[in-house]
Amino acid sequence: MAAECCYVNRVLPESELDDFVYALDNRIAGFDKVAVSETKALVDASTRIPDEEFGSALSAYFRTAGRPENEHRARRLFERGLQKPHGVELDLGKRVAEQS
């Protein structure tokens, strides 16, 4: 369900989850701590909405993203590898912008 609602960008079989999480943890741990901390603070400051607005914001997202007019775009993205470790996931921002 989470993948269909675009809450996640990939779904892994349970047998692969531990290795994936371990590799991701090691990768993040290797990043410069100050850079990670400051980048996270910047993203949080510019994107966080007040808790009391979250429900209505999420409802608005699903009301608009799930419109029939957008179905062909989502279908094309999934056909091109959306939520897979290849395909459009490698350059998602550009690929979404190309959809019409």
Predicted local distance difference test score (pLDDT) of residue 90? 76
C-alpha–C-alpha distance, residues 7 and 39, integer Å: 22
Task: Write the DSSP symbol of residue 87.
Answer: G
Element (H, E) at 70: none
User: pLDDT tens, 35-61?
Assistant: 888 988 888 888 888 889 989 988 988
- Residue ranges for the chain with pLDDT beneath 50: none
CA Rg value for the chain:
16
Predicted local distance difference test score (pLDDT) of residue 77? 83
